[in-house]
Amino acid sequence: RVLDLGCAPGAWLQVAAEIVGPRGVVVGVDLQPVLHSFPDHVHHLVADIYEADPLALRGPSGRLFDVVLSDMAPNTIGHGDDLLSARLCARVLEVLPDLLAPGGNFTMKVLEGGEQPRLLRDTRALFATVKAYKPPASRDVSREIYIVGHGFAPTPAQVRSAPLDS
pLDDT per position as a tens digit, 107-134: 999 877 767 889 999 999 999 999 999 8
Q: Reduce the DSSP state of residue 71 to 3 states and report it.
A: coil
Beta bridge mates, 70? 5, 108
Containing 119, the helix (H) or strand (E) segment is: helix 116-124
Among this protein's residues, is 131 annotated catalytic?
A: no
* CA-closest candidate to residue 88, choices 100, 76, 98: 76
Q: CB neighbours (10 Å) of residue 113?
A: 16
Q: Tell me the whole-structure pTM to 2 decimals.
A: 0.88
Q: Which of 1, 109, 130, 152 is catalytic?
A: 109
Q: Reduce the DSSP state of residue 63 to 3 states and report it.
A: coil
Q: CB neighbours (10 Å) of residue 124?
A: 14
Q: Strand 100-111 and strand 144-152: pairing?
A: antiparallel
Q: Strand 127-133 and strand 144-152: pairing?
A: antiparallel
Residue boundaries of the structural domains of the chain: 2-154
Contacts of residue 73, Cβ cutoff 8 Å, sequence gap at least 6: 6, 85, 88, 109, 111
Q: What is the pLDDT of residues 31-89, one digit of tens each?
A: 999 998 999 999 999 999 999 999 889 987 889 999 999 988 766 666 555 667 788 89
CATH superfamily of 2-154: Vaccinia Virus protein VP39 (3.40.50.150)
Terminal-residue alpha carbon distance, the chain:
17
